[in-house]
Structure 1
Amino acid sequence: MRKDNNIEVRATKSTPVVSQDSRTVEGYAVVFNSQSEDLGFYETINPAAITEEVLMRSDVFCLFNHDQDKVLARSKNGTGSLQLQLDERGLKYTFTAPNTDLGNELLEYLRRGDIDSSSFAFTVSTDEGSEVWTTGTDGRQYREILKIDELHDVSPVWNPAYSSTSVSQRTLDKLNQLREMQDEKKKELQEETVEKTDEEVQEEVPTQEEVEKKNTDTEDEEDKEVQEETVEKSDEEVVDEDKDKDNDVEGEDKEDKEETRSARTHKHININTMKEQRFSLLRAIRNVAENRQLDNVTAAVCNEGMKEMRAAGLNTVGQIYIPTMETRAAVTVASEGADVVATDLYDIIEPLRAKNVLVQAGAKFYTGLTNSAQIPVMTGSNVNWAGETAAATDGNVLFNNVTLTPKRLTAYVDISKMLLAQDSVGVENAIRQDLINAINSKLESTILGKAGKTANQPAGIFNGKTPTKVTDFEGLVGLEAKVEEANVLGGISYIASPSARASFRNMMKGSKGTAQLAYMDGTLDGTPVFSTSNVEAKTFVVGDFSNLAIGSWGGLDIVVDNYTQAVNGMIRLVVNAYFDAALIRPEAFQFGTFAV
């Protein structure tokens, strides 16, 4: 029945049950996202690891305590006396105990409570990415199985004890290899990278002149070119190129070159290892959702985000903290002896700023604020003429200012558990984009709304305004004139609802015979027009948006909610961010509507 040396056996803490008035037995052979006992490592099985396709191609026996001579039921390619069913918890098995001595024996043990666990045997897929190994902050190894190739049996068993004999030799070999790599890495870090950033390590890579001096008698001109390119290429590419070049080299000269290349490749592996310190939001969410300890990189980034929020005078309420990372500073992972390289994957503020229609129209976006921020307001009363040696005057008017204070903006994003089980850059970026969209939509709708200012949210710029009814191009020109009369210094722009922009498209300018469309190429007679559904239908605002200030404090504070949407197979991410907005000069804006 079992010929594969790579079959692995695991027990679960799920007790099989039997009803008192029937012979039906059921239990969970696999419990997803449940951490195993100590196998020399700790293991969890991802919900995406077992699919209906796997069940349909597997020949699964139900055995008594994994004894291959004690068969209770069988599911061959999805049919038979053994029923297998996948649900949110795991893999459920159901069968009717056979009317045999073995079946009666099993029922008696179950009803007495002597058998209290289930177990299963499986083979992990050999495809790349089928399992992920990580090192916890406790120094222990953690294995997540993402793809199982085949199931072999499910079994009611006496106890859930795990033993190293139930782990395939292939898995133990991988673990030993992983430990050897980590030992080598630690040794390299001690020798070459202690207290150095990734950038400093890269600077220590031998220059062309240094290597040429060391290998004058062994390096030819072609090998020098490889030397210049080594740092930019993966370890695999370097090794492949070396093999190609070795085919053209013979004797002692070949051996000398191989030794030189080996040293150079060894240095490259160390640098590449440093570069692999990357933060994954997807992995962070999974760890929290599955109640697992954060890995070193995630913990370091979250600590940085927490410090950033505290520096801004904010209290943290979530489980994951993403810093803005606008300074592009590296985040140190102390226990790794390496740095997390700051990449655009961290950056939430920049794509948010780029997407926000208010910022596109010219609003001032202030980031990295701490506590309350005062923005000065310049008016004509602050400026006076004076003699060459006369003292300056203040115009008998106090210098005005607008104060921004952090207000918590809360939005949520629902993510499918099946999507969360994936592990790709595309999914990672999709989740980040969903977060950006949720925050931006809430921010725009509030600032472009009618609500008044409260302790918890800024006032909408339409608050207290009665939009002027406009029917033609002359009416629009009149509103623009009022903005210009307020002595605005910046450019004028429109922000309109989609229906208001549609009205712009049908508007004509000029007299009969020379009339032309007023709206062309995204502008209204040369004035930029931006559109968003966050403006009330048929309504628009025109003005100098540099007189609108938007402030941002800290990064993102994320709560992973496993319960609200659990019935729908979803996980809800509740995002907390801190913003405020205010008009610096309200007279720089005019409001209009096409409503009849």
Structure 2
Amino acid sequence: MKKSAELKQERAQKIEAQRALHNTATAEKRNLNETETTSFRALQTEIESLDGQIKDAEAFETNLRSLEGSQPTSFTPENQEQRNTPKKVFSLNRAIRSQMANGSLEGAELEVHTATVEMAKRAGIPISGIAVPLFDSRSVQMETRADGQTVTGDSGGYGGNLVATEIQPVIDKLRPQPVVEKLGAIFLTGLQGDLKFPVNDGGIAATWEGEDAEVANTKNAYSSKTMKPIRLAVAVPISLQNIMQSSIDMENYTMSEIRTIVANAIDLAAINGSGTGQPIGILNVSGTNSVAGGTNGLAPTYGNVVAMETAVFVENANSAKLQYLSNPKVRGKLKTTTQVDGYPTYLMAADGSVNGYPFTASNHVPSNLTKGTASGVCSAAIFGDFSQLIVGQWGFMDITVDNMSRKKEGYIEIIVNVFLDVLVKQPKAFTVIKDLLTA
């Protein structure tokens, strides 16, 4: 009897074949022809058969587990070794090795891939490589190494060479911490197709009229905004030796790094995306409120901090989630700049708030802008309602393994594709300033 995980993979392949038939007919704006209908029904029969086999296999596997748990075991070197060997869950290295060999996943890797593919199919997302949830906390439990012999008083000739070198966790690169989700941005996941948001641009008006005067008709005008998936890609070269050896938790670290890079890319796009080949962020979207410091930039003042707040309130965009966002340089300047000369009340209060609102610092907010003669030294800041910011995620990390391009160098490459977009629903809910001087 096949394992339930293998049967589930076969079932997923059958469903994918049905989807291909359906998509072909849909693309040509027609129903299934006779041949396609026959194939579709045959696949359905096979799927229903697999459903029964999966049910039987799962029941059998449950029986085996209960039997193993109920039987006493005597001490033997073999079962003691099994007790001491940690159970492994999803392993990126094993998944990659399987793709390098015969392309067949097994065990936990097959289960994660199959479950994620099922979710991707429901969202209409094609998966070409290994499917892994975009934000997943699964980890790999690796075998622990034995302690090395401790030797003192010699330089290695009498035992020092037997001491194992204990590899410690990698020291992380310092990166900005993602902030937009914490600020209140809305994350939409598992999307399929483009998203279209109708926008009410107003138009209906009430007028005071005389007792028998005719009132003029008014109506709202509508426009729309669209979110479309934009590809975010990461390519990571990994040595074959790294893949074949798993002496430390390097694969977990690699996956964590990839997820961190993706999260930072989302943050940067939401804040300062250019809109060219990438989403457009708050600092560059048209229609936001704008406050200027000076012709050649200006240090933060209480006046322009309040002006940022005022502009949002004038546009009726005030909400309970208003807050400031800038970079650490501006944060430092706010902490040392008084509201009024000679009076020890600073722009940033002791609790970290500014003008009564929360303040967040991120290095994704630029500090190298130019205004007049202030070249490359101006910082930006944002004030607004970050719930007006939407981040769309078209689902999952699609991991493809390329074990040929750099084969002579002893490398493989894993390519990760994620599809995302950012939408500022109401630009008037934000005020932007781009010429703050911090020196």
Q: Which has the higher strand share?
A: 1
User: In the alignment, does 2:254 pair up with 1:431?
Assistant: yes
Counterpart selection for 1:551 from 392, 397, 407: 392
Distance in structure 2 (CA, Å) of the matches to 1:570 and 1:478: 55
User: In the alignment, does 2:116 pair up with 1:309?
Assistant: no
Distance in structure 2 (CA, Å) of the matches to 1:483 and 1:403: 24
Per the alignment, in what secondary structure is the counterpart of residue 344 of structure 1? coil
Distance in structure 1 (CA, Å) of the matches to 2:408 and 2:335: 46
| CA offset digits 1:388-425 (Å, max 9, x no partner) | xxxxxx97215555322222111233444444334378
Contact 1:280 1:298 in 2 (8 A): yes
Distance in structure 2 (CA, Å) of the matches to 1:595 and 1:197: 70
Counterpart selection for 1:320 from 122, 130, 134: 130
Per the alignment, in what secondary structure is the counterpart of residue 430 of structure 1? helix
Q: Over aligned residue pairs, what C-alpha RMSD do you find?
A: 4.5
Question: How do 1:385-396 and structure 2 match up within 5 A?
Answer: 396=219
Q: CA deviation at 1:378?
A: 6.5
Counterpart selection for 1:344 from 133, 137, 161: 137
Distance in structure 1 (CA, Å) of the matches to 2:126 and 2:398: 10
Residue matched to 1:356: 178
Q: CA deviation at 1:300?
A: 4.0
Residue matched to 2:304: 475
Per the alignment, in what secondary structure is the counterpart of residue 321 of structure 1? strand
Question: How do 1:96-111 and structure 2 match up within 5 A?
Answer: none
Per the alignment, in what secondary structure is the counterpart of residue 523 of structure 1? coil
Residue matched to 2:243: 420
- In structure 2, do the counterparts of structure 1 residues 559 and 502 end up closer, same or farther at CA, with 3 Å as the change threshold? farther
Contact 1:494 1:540 in 2 (8 A): yes
Distance in structure 2 (CA, Å) of the matches to 1:398 and 1:361: 31
- In structure 2, do the counterparts of structure 1 residues 407 and 452 end up closer, same or farther at CA, with 3 Å as the change threshold? closer
| CA offset digits 1:90-121 (Å, max 9, x no partner) | xxxxxxxxxxxxxxxxxxxxxxxxxxxxxxxx
User: In the alignment, does 2:284 pair up with 1:463?
Assistant: yes
User: In the alignment, does 2:258 pair up with 1:447?
Assistant: no
Distance in structure 2 (CA, Å) of the matches to 1:425 and 1:377: 52
- In structure 2, do the counterparts of structure 1 residues 544 and 283 end up closer, same or farther at CA, with 3 Å as the change threshold? same
Question: How do 1:77-116 and structure 2 match up within 5 A?
Answer: none
Counterpart selection for 1:411 from 234, 247, 258: 234
User: In the alignment, does 2:400 pair up with 1:578?
Assistant: no
The one-letter code of the counterpart of 1:445 is L
Residue matched to 1:373: 195
| CA offset digits 1:548-577 (Å, max 9, x no partner) | 111111211112234566676554322101
The one-letter code of the counterpart of 1:556 is M
Distance in structure 2 (CA, Å) of the matches to 1:307 and 1:513: 63
Residue matched to 1:499: 329
| CA offset digits 1:104-142 (Å, max 9, x no partner) | xxxxxxxxxxxxxxxxxxxxxxxxxxxxxxxx979xxxx
Contact 1:382 1:399 in 2 (8 A): no
Paired-residue identity, %: 25
- In structure 2, do the counterparts of structure 1 residues 505 and 424 end up closer, same or farther at CA, with 3 Å as the change threshold? farther
Counterpart selection for 1:524 from 343, 354, 357: 354
Distance in structure 1 (CA, Å) of the matches to 2:407 and 2:388: 45
Question: How do 1:141-220 and structure 2 match up within 5 A?
Answer: 194-196=57-59
| CA offset digits 1:159-186 (Å, max 9, x no partner) | xxxxxxxxxxxxxxxxxxxxxxxxxxxx
The one-letter code of the counterpart of 1:588 is A
Contact 1:312 1:369 in 2 (8 A): yes
Normalised to the residue count of structure 1, the TM-score between the two structures is 0.45
- In structure 2, do the counterparts of structure 1 residues 510 and 422 end up closer, same or farther at CA, with 3 Å as the change threshold? farther
The one-letter code of the counterpart of 1:594 is L
- In structure 2, do the counterparts of structure 1 residues 517 and 451 end up closer, same or farther at CA, with 3 Å as the change threshold? closer
Per the alignment, in what secondary structure is the counterpart of residue 484 of structure 1? helix
Q: CA deviation at 1:591?
A: 1.2
The one-letter code of the counterpart of 1:370 is Q
Q: CA deviation at 1:579?
A: 0.7
Residue matched to 1:591: 432
Q: CA deviation at 1:544?
A: 0.8
The one-letter code of the counterpart of 1:298 is E
Distance in structure 2 (CA, Å) of the matches to 1:416 and 1:504: 47
Normalised to the residue count of structure 2, the TM-score between the two structures is 0.59
The one-letter code of the counterpart of 2:436 is F
Distance in structure 1 (CA, Å) of the matches to 2:360 and 2:309: 16
Contact 1:308 1:323 in 2 (8 A): no
Contact 2:202 2:221 in 1 (8 A): no
Question: How do 1:1-40 and structure 2 match up within 5 A?
Answer: none
Distance in structure 1 (CA, Å) of the matches to 2:195 and 2:93: 34
Contact 2:308 2:431 in 1 (8 A): yes
- In structure 2, do the counterparts of structure 1 residues 196 and 580 end up closer, same or farther at CA, with 3 Å as the change threshold? farther
Per the alignment, in what secondary structure is the counterpart of residue 369 of structure 1? coil
Q: CA deviation at 1:547?
A: 0.6
The one-letter code of the counterpart of 1:532 is S
Question: How do 1:54-133 and structure 2 match up within 5 A?
Answer: none
| CA offset digits 1:476-517 (Å, max 9, x no partner) | 111122122222224112232333333333222245234335
Distance in structure 2 (CA, Å) of the matches to 1:276 and 1:193: 25
Contact 1:479 1:590 in 2 (8 A): yes
Comparing 508-517 and 574-583, the one that deviates more: 508-517
Gaps of 5+ in 1: 1-135, 139-189, 207-229, 243-268, 326-342, 347-353, 386-393
Contact 1:503 1:594 in 2 (8 A): no
Contact 1:361 1:494 in 2 (8 A): no
Residue matched to 2:154: none
Per the alignment, in what secondary structure is the counterpart of residue 515 of structure 1? strand
Q: CA deviation at 1:584?
A: 0.3
Q: CA deviation at 1:578?
A: 0.9
Q: CA deviation at 1:195?
A: 4.0
- In structure 2, do the counterparts of structure 1 residues 580 and 518 end up closer, same or farther at CA, with 3 Å as the change threshold? same
Distance in structure 2 (CA, Å) of the matches to 1:197 and 1:449: 55
The one-letter code of the counterpart of 1:345 is R
Per the alignment, in what secondary structure is the counterpart of residue 268 of structure 2? helix
Count of residue pairs brought into register by the alignment: 316
Contact 1:509 1:517 in 2 (8 A): yes
Distance in structure 2 (CA, Å) of the matches to 1:277 and 1:376: 48
Per the alignment, in what secondary structure is the counterpart of residue 451 of structure 1? coil
Distance in structure 1 (CA, Å) of the matches to 2:124 and 2:6: 29
